[in-house]
Structure 1
């Protein structure tokens, strides 16, 4: 099939390109730079020049495809709500192109949290914070809206730590804060948990979700259901040779800035239904193993 992938040169998107090419699909990746185009070409994909802020360029490639995997997202957290709403508009626009066809649209979102702190988030959890509370949910809302119009739209939710030894998602933020401040911090007793997945395992979920072409289904690409943040902070301190310190949530907000909320968030999530629905199983190293060999400690 002819697959169009946004965010195709990114950390996750490039793994999805590689997975889809290996599966025998003809892949076209969106690129806004020569560097991005080179990454896509090296992986065996074709390049469509454009930008997610230019809907005309994106929709041209959507119309020429047999389906779309939408991995792109602007991760400038100083404009989190603005960028989330921009993603909503793009998903809705892609849905208009795909309406009335059998061509799938796979949208990226985050695992987020369950209604009750400490409860493990599951794929069919009836609770979902509205975008007014959690801006990233604008992508979920948009996917649901186009699915309601008949588009074969599904969602792949990613945990906060999508990782390999080079990059570790939210954990990379902890490492850089520790390096800059001289202390590896966690909130309270540090038993709040983050789920995680290796980027290659995540890429497989995207590929299987595309091939399944289900409508209105949410998958969760989760390998580790929940790693205590204190354990992560201790390994960060060990890796950088820095002290490890507990902070109150207020202290963490001042210490981490925008990241303070996430530092104290308890976000465990499951992939049991995803594994059953897609016949998928995470097989690559877990977060702790990759963290123990993290390239960021060697800078």
Structure 2
């Protein structure tokens, strides 16, 4: 089996690539530069040198793949994401999986999801994965929470802490994409563990994991320096998503909620930080 993958060097796409390669799947990885081509080749993938803006050049290669996974979604570039998605759909693989977001529910992204699903039929299974807050390793929101707790001896949350966070460990997200590809899944899959936690409960879990005794509420304007604007936004936005469709492709998360996955995520964060150095 082989999969044409965009975003193979990114945070989520890299985890998908690792999961697929571990299962013996050949990964055709779209990369922009020779440097990234060397990097993915060293990880056992086949590099496809190109860009999202010119995917038509690789339509034949993508179309011959058993599946296409578009994991290089970009909230900041609506037109580029739409163009790339349409080009990959037109390539005509037997399966197409689009990585979307449970947090960005803008009109254009919702419309693009509908376009992906409408393109499905007898010859091509199409699906959308709405990712929640992905955590694990150096990427995502969680490193800000860990870094602040270590630096200040206090685990912080924003506001009253009632906003709910829907999350998924990066490895579980990768397993979900693999299951959809393997089973030819169709429709919308919520890329979350299925047990939302409040921002305050998340802060409490971070405190237990890092080993600090205090938790504290702050307003976004007074958040610790380790918190980026994105982190404050996640902690203030109420997103409670249920996971109901994963079982249709034989998938259940290994980490059923954030507290269950935090110890592993903390280890990953520290290990990867040492490697990056």
Report the TM-score when normalising by structure 1.
0.73
- Larger deviation, residues 226-235 vs 89-98: 226-235
**Equivalent residues in 2 for 1:178-193, closer than 5 Å:** 185-193=156-164
Name the counterpart of 2:243.
Answer: 271
For residue 130 of structure 2, give the secondary structure of its aligned residue in structure 1: strand
Change (3 A) 1:258 1:71: closer
Report the TM-score when normalising by structure 2.
0.77
Name the counterpart of 1:48.
Answer: 48
Separation in 2, partners of 1:24, 1:96: 27
Q: Contact 1:49 / 1:57 at 8 angstroms: preserved in 2?
A: no
1:107 aligns with 2:98: yes
2:196 alignment partner, one of 226, 229, 239: 226
Separation in 2, partners of 1:147, 1:177: 45
- Larger deviation, residues 31-40 vs 63-72: 31-40
Q: Contact 1:168 / 1:291 at 8 angstroms: preserved in 2?
A: no
CA displacement at 1:148 relative to structure 2: 7.3
2:117 alignment partner, one of 122, 144, 162: 144
1:262 aligns with 2:234: yes
Separation in 2, partners of 1:103, 1:190: 44
Q: Contact 2:135 / 2:141 at 8 angstroms: preserved in 1?
A: no
Name the counterpart of 1:119.
Answer: none
Name the counterpart of 2:18.
Answer: 18
CA displacement at 1:159 relative to structure 2: 1.3
Q: Contact 2:189 / 2:243 at 8 angstroms: preserved in 1?
A: yes
Residue ranges of structure 1 left out of the alignment (5+ in a row): 75-79, 114-128
Name the counterpart of 1:73.
Answer: 73
CA displacement at 1:192 relative to structure 2: 1.9
C-alpha deviations, 1:77-98, integer Å up to 9, x for none?
xxx4x41342122111211221
Separation in 1, partners of 2:148, 2:123: 45
**Equivalent residues in 2 for 1:159-178, closer than 5 Å:** 159-160=132-133, 162-164=134-136, 166-167=137-138, 169-175=140-146
For residue 28 of structure 2, give the secondary structure of its aligned residue in structure 1: strand
For residue 272 of structure 1, give the secondary structure of its aligned residue in structure 2: coil
Name the counterpart of 1:288.
Answer: 262
Change (3 A) 1:52 1:174: farther
Name the counterpart of 2:128.
Answer: 155
CA displacement at 1:163 relative to structure 2: 2.5
CA displacement at 1:58 relative to structure 2: 4.4
Q: Contact 2:94 / 2:125 at 8 angstroms: preserved in 1?
A: yes
- Larger deviation, residues 86-95 vs 38-47: 38-47
Change (3 A) 1:265 1:30: same
Q: Contact 1:219 / 1:271 at 8 angstroms: preserved in 2?
A: yes
Name the counterpart of 1:213.
Answer: 184
C-alpha deviations, 1:213-250, integer Å up to 9, x for none?
244x1112322521222233345567496974323578
Change (3 A) 1:181 1:69: same
CA displacement at 1:42 relative to structure 2: 3.1
Change (3 A) 1:83 1:296: farther
